[in-house]
């Protein structure tokens, strides 16, 4: 190299065991030459920081979004013998996604839903699916009604209740008064989560029934139920610890509306009679108006113009 010349170059490294490294990766750079004098440059140290971080995204949905409380004439046998005797079905679905870039070795998902308000039950929790080894604060399916539920009836209920999504327009206007924790006694479900790699997800399903009897008596004046879920990261599979462990919190609200009487009983007789009388009265008024205007007194001209021309000579001869 001549004096004043410069050379640019680059090196690419791969670190196969980065998870076992410390907080820094150290590189030492030095230029060596065959010069008789000053053949080695000073050592330059380059430190690359190693971080462990991950980002979470959580989603929750209520199926259906608005549940219809049976009308006041609805009567359920006491004690209930089937799940239908308690009320319409509800399902809460929660999904947690590890957006990366780091993996998650351990986490926990906690769910809380309003179970009772005083001595009035709100929800009847049937069961859950998804993560294993979950612990619940209250018993699941305490009346053992899920064992007697037939699969055909459950599918029919899901199809029927799926149609309640289109009835959200009938809900009371304005922000609904929600009922959740800690206003009511809560059902809590804690599920330990195993490892989640990048873009891997965990899903939790919670099946329940709305206790319609409590809402029909109008002692529970809530217009919506609120369930909350929180996912917390407890550990990452690295020696380097992140500055903080991420967590994600979300709420799912289920709207409530009261069913109105359907028109299946038919139109009342007095409505039919009144409609017929009003129709006859309108027809009579229309006919009377036309009569006053002389509509019924008009005479149609006799014959055409050719027939009139043929009749004129005959009329003259007779005269």
pLDDT tens digit sequence for 126-167 = 999 988 889 999 988 888 887 665 444 444 333 333 333 333
Q: Cα–Cα distance between 182 and 199 in angstroms, integer?
A: 33
Give DSSP secondary structure letters for 297-319: T--PPPS-HHHHHHHHHHHHHH-
Confidence band (pLDDT; 50, 70, 90) for 300? low
The pLDDT of residue 304: 55
Domain spans of the chain?
18-49, 54-261
Q: Token pair for residue 310?
A: 């043929």
Residue bearing tokens 């907080």: 23
Cβ atoms within 10 Å, residue 134: 19
Q: What is the mean pLDDT of residues 275-298?
A: 82
- Please give the radius of gyration of the chain, using alpha carbons only, rounded to the nearest integer: 40
Q: pLDDT for 27-77, tens place per residue?
A: 898 888 888 888 888 899 998 888 888 888 989 999 999 988 876 667 777
Pick the closest to residue 171 from 247, 65, 98 (CA basis): 65
Helices (H), 99-218: 151-162, 212-216
Pick the closest to residue 109 from 201, 225, 242 (CA basis): 201
Q: Among the listed ranges 62-76, 216-230, 257-271, which one has the minimum average pLDDT value? A: 257-271
Q: Judge contact between 283 and 267, C-beta under 8 A.
A: no
Q: What DSSP designation does 163 have? A: G
More confident residue, 231 or 307: 231
The pLDDT of residue 207: 93
Q: What is the pTM of this model?
A: 0.63
Helix (H, G, I), strand (E, B) or coil at 31: coil
Hey, which CATH number is domain 54-261, 3.30.420.10, 3.40.309.10, 2.60.40.1530, 3.10.310.10? 2.60.40.1530
Pick the closest to residue 115 from 62, 182, 185, 183 (CA basis): 185
Q: What is the mean pLDDT of residues 9-38?
A: 83
Considering the chain, what is the average pLDDT of its residues? 79
Confidence band (pLDDT; 50, 70, 90) for 188? very high
Q: Cα–Cα distance between 232 and 249 in angstroms, integer?
A: 9
Q: Cα–Cα distance between 240 and 24 in angstroms, integer?
A: 9
- 3-class SS letters over 225-252: EEEEEEEEEEECCCCCCCCCCCEEEEEE
Confidence band (pLDDT; 50, 70, 90) for 125? very high
């Amino acid at each position: 190299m001549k004096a004043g010349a410069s050379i640019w170059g680059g090196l690419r490294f791969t670190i196969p065991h980065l998870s076992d490294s410390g907080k820094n990766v150290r590189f030492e750079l030095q230029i060596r030459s065959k010069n008789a004098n000053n053949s080695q440059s000073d050592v330059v140290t380059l430190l690359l920081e190693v971080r462990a971080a991950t980002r979470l995204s959580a989603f929750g949905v209520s199926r259906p979004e608005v549940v219809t409380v049976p009308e006041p004439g609805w009567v359920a046998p006491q004690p209930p013998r089937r799940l239908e005797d308690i009320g319409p079905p509800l399902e809460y679905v929660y999904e947690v996604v590890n957006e990366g870039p780091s993996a998650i070795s351990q986490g926990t998902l906690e769910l809380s839903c309003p179970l009772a308000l005083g001595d009035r039950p709100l929800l009847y929790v049937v069961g859950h699916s998804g993560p294993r080894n979950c612990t619940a604060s209250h018993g699941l399916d305490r009346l053992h009604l899920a064992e007697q539920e037939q699969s055909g009836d459950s599918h029919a209920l899901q199809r029927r209740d799926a149609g309640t999504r289109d009835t959200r327009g009938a809900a009371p206007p304005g922000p609904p008064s929600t009922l959740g924790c800690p206003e009511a006694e809560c059902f809590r479900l804690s599920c330990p989560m195993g490892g989640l790699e990048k873009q891997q997800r965990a899903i939790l399903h919670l099946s329940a029934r709305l206790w319609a009897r409590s809402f029909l008596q109008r002692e529970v004046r809530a217009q919506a139920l609120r369930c909350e879920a929180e996912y917390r990261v407890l550990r990452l599979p690295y020696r380097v610890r992140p500055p903080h462990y991420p967590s994600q919190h979300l709420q799912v609200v289920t709207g409530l509306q009261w069913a109105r009487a359907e028109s299946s009983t038919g139109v009342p007789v007095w409505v039919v009679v009144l409609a017929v009388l009003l129709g006859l009265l309108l027809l009579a008024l229309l006919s009377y108006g036309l009569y006053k205007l002389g509509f019924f007194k008009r005479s149609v001209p006799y014959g055409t113009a050719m027939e009139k021309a043929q009749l004129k000579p005959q009329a003259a001869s007779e005269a």
